[in-house]
C-alpha cells in the first residue's frame, strides 16, 4: 500500500463478502480466475492490486482503519426491490 496511490472502498451487497468462485479471494494471482481483478491484473503476491477482507470481523477492523462511521454512505438502489427478494 506504500508503493503507490490507494483507493479505499467499502462494498456491501448480497453475498458480497462470501468466498465464492469468480471472486478475487485467491491470495495468489496464479490461482485467481480470469475475469477477477486479481486474476486479470496481478502477477506477484507481494505486488497485489486488490485486497479483500477474509471475514466480517476483519472487514469491520479494516474499514475502521480507513473510514469514520459518518463517512460511509448507506445506499439503496431504486431497483433493489425488483432484483432481490
pLDDT of residue 61: 95
This model's pTM is above 0.75: no
Q: pLDDT tens digits for the chain (85 residues)? A: 677 788 898 887 776 655 554 455 677 888 888 888 888 888 888 887 888 887 888 889 999 999 999 999 888 888 888 988 7
Catalytic residues: 51
**Sequence-distant (≥ 6) Cβ neighbours of residue 52 within 8 angstroms:** 23, 24, 25
Residue with cell 469468480: 22
pLDDT of residue 51: 82
Of 14, 13, 23, the residue nearest 52 (C-alpha):
23
Amino acid at each position: 500500500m506504500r508503493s503507490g496511490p490507494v483507493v479505499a472502498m467499502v462494498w456491501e451487497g448480497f453475498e458480497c463478502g462470501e468466498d465464492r468462485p469468480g471472486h478475487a479471494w485467491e491470495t495468489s494471482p496464479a490461482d485467481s480466475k480470469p475475469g477477477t481483478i486479481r486474476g486479470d491484473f496481478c502477477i506477484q503476491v507481494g505486488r497485489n492490486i486488490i485486497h479483500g477482507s477474509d471475514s466480517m470481523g476483519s472487514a469491520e477492523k479494516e474499514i475502521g482503519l480507513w473510514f469514520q462511521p459518518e463517512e460511509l454512505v448507506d445506499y439503496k438502489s431504486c431497483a433493489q426491490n425488483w432484483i432481490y427478494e
